[in-house]
Chains A and B, each alone.
Chain A
Amino acid sequence: MRQKDHSVETIAAWVLALLWLLPLAYSLWSAFHPSEYATRFDLTAPLTLDNFVKAWHQAPFARYYLNTLMLVSLVLVCQLVIATLAAYAFARFKFFGRDVLFALVLVQLMIMPDVLIVENYRVISALNLLDTIPAIALPYIASAFGIFLLRQTFKGVPNELVEAARVEGASSFGVLWRVFVPLGKTTYIAFGLVSVSYHWNNFLWPLIVTNSVESRPLTVGLAVFGAPETGVDWSVITAATVMTMAPLLLAFLLFQRQFVQSFMRAGIR
């Protein structure tokens, strides 16, 4: 009886998993086969890269890739520097106004930049930055979430290590750089993976503030390319879709464990 239970469950789990992979599997099928096979599943269908070649030539995907790469690196580097400094202050200094300030930082966890699109558009346009990559990045680079995670990590650093570094004559910055930053490695990786995935995938805000090929990230480029008005062939759109998600998907397949653990660590906080 028990044994039977188990095999029924195993089958159910596999059915659900295959169902879960179906959309992805289908997009790969359609991207790598000629368009007449888009809905005909014939194992003898010829494989082709034509759809990718077409997509690559019909829209400036190389530029979109570059924009997204610049965007995610700009966001990540700024986030890490700013959050490290702020977290260090919150975790290791006693100063006037600390608790109020920390509460003000936490406000961003509850009201994210994603919902403040109307006013942030005003701010960006007042700064004369519309349609640039910094415009997409700016609202996100002071990350309450990053500050929060790093502060937790820094609070766990044993005092003896700090004292030892002080005795050796390290300055405040020296202590931060040589003691806290190396000990925060896991948190940095977790936060970094979550941040890169988030900004690689982000769409609504970039859609609002960008208006040209020079600043559009991949997601917005894909939306413009795939709009029904353009009448682009379905298989070519799927090829573009696969291109958009491929780098993250490959990174995920290679570093599965780190991804899952990072998302978990960052989520549980």
Chain B
Amino acid sequence: MVAAVMSAAEPRAAKRRNWMTSINAWLLLLPAIVLLGTFTHYPILSTLYHSFFSLGRGGTSNFVGFENYAYMLDDDVFWQVLRNNIVFALATVPTSIALALLMAVWVDKKIAGRSFLRLAFFTPTVLPMIAVANIWLFFYTPGYGLLDQFLKNFGFASNNWLGDPSTVMTCLAVMVVWKEAGFFMIFYLAALQTIPPELKEAAEVEGASRWYFFRRVTLPLLMPTTLFISINALINSFKLVDQLVIMTKGGPNNASSLLLYYIYEVAFTFQDTTYAATLTVTLIAILAGVALTKFVYLDRRIHYQ
């Protein structure tokens, strides 16, 4: 009898406790949910929504189906900035990774002035891109700038580095590699420090050369770090456009413009917000693609638990 009453009361009490826990948890999450909803989820959905409309006169908008997308596919500038973005990623990602690895290997060893070297490599990471752009802008200034002054010594003529479509991308890529390599270095450094020293001793006993050891042992062990850095660098190449505002405004003739910068121009200079929304959908799709690749191929081992 008593047992029967207890077993009936227990689930009810447990149920109520579960309810209380749920309400508590949701209350704790409320500020985060409201803010993320307003500034992440709602904007993503409304970007998609607006990409199917066109701006009419007097602020009214008309449903146009896929017209904006058809326009985008016909838009030469869109294809150019997309190509620029890919070229920019291909130029900056492998270079900064290679340099980061080289820096990390040096700094990991007992090299003279190790902490100074690490400091020198890492410093650009903490500087604002806008300040960096100002400094490098002066390097590239035709005639008066440092690069031209330096090359003059060797008899080269002055060059409009940022005004020439054939050099502008390289100039920007060099600057971004300079800014990012030191950041990636620290991840390699952390990974290098987890490689057991016994491996190296064993290799030395076997008479393996340093290069052989690096190629056959170190490099494979660093693979997860390399993938992690590549993804981050790739995402950065799509979301970092501050330098363009200062240095080139996407010019000359869109030769240095990137997708996000084009979105900024379309939305805030040409005031065509629905077309900007269409372009944003493309950018979101690219970022989601990169993130999903990362999730499916890389994070299998790292569980979000």
Contact = CB atoms under 8 A, between A and B. Distances in A.
A238 B138 contact: yes
Interface stretch (A50-58, A100-108, A182-190): A100-108
A208 interface: yes
A66 interface: no
Contact of B144 (A21, A39, A81, A96): A39
Interface string B176-189: 00100011001100
Contact of A118 (B47, B183, B186): B47
B38 interface: yes
A113 B232 contact: no
Given A142-B32, A204-B245, A115 B131 contact: no
Contact of A203 (B34, B35, B178, B242): B242
B146 interface: yes
Contacts of A30: 138
A200 interface: yes
Nearest to A200: B128
B255 interface: no
A244 to B, nearest CB: 5
A256 B119 CA distance: 8
Contact of B22 (A86, A95, A118): A95
Give the interface SS of chain A, mostly helix, strand, loop or mixed.
helix
Contacts of B228: 268
A118 B263 contact: yes
A18 interface: yes
B36 A21 contact: no
A237 B230 CA distance: 35
B119 A117 contact: no
- Name, among B130, B245, B264, the residue most crowded by chain A CB atoms within 10 Å (CB to CB): B130
Interface string A192-230: 000001001101100110000000001100110010000
B130 A116 contact: no
A249 B127 contact: yes
B242 to A, nearest CB: 4
Nearest to A30: B138
A178 interface: no
B40 A10 contact: no
Nearest to A234: B138
Interface in B19-35: 21-22, 24-26, 28-29, 31-35
Contact of A113 (B32, B39, B116, B121): B39
A115 B287 contact: yes
Given A27-B135, A95-B22, A204-B245, A88 B28 contact: yes
B47 A116 contact: yes
B171 interface: no
Contact of B131 (A114, A117, A138, A241): A241
A121 interface: yes
A147 interface: yes
A123 B116 contact: no
B69 interface: no
B32 A20 contact: no
Nearest to B50: A119
B54 interface: no
A122 interface: yes
A76 interface: no
Given A110-B291, A116-B280, A203-B129, A86 B187 contact: no
A111 B120 contact: no
Interface string B188-204: 00100000000000000
A260 B122 contact: yes
Given A24-B123, A116-B47, A259-B126, A226 B134 contact: yes
Contact of B135 (A13, A223, A238): A238
A98 interface: yes
A114 B139 CA distance: 28
Contacts of A108: 36, 40
Contacts of A111: 40, 44, 284, 287-288
B182 A114 contact: no
Interface string B245-288: 11000000000000010011001100001001100100110011
Given A10-B111, A138-B38, A203-B130, 7 more contacts: A5-B210, A16-B121, A39-B149, A85-B29, A108-B36, A109-B291, A263-B186
13 contacts: A23-B135, A39-B144, A85-B28, A120-B39, A121-B268, A123-B42, A155-B305, A203-B128, A223-B246, A226-B134, A241-B135, A244-B131, A268-B187
Interface of B: 18, 21-22, 24-26, 28-29, 31-36, 38-44, 46-47, 50, 102-103, 106-107, 109, 111-113, 116-132, 134-136, 138-139, 144, 146, 149, 178, 182-183, 186-187, 190, 210, 228, 232, 238-239, 241-242, 245-246, 260, 263-264, 267-268, 273, 276-277, 280, 283-284, 287-288, 290-291, 304-305
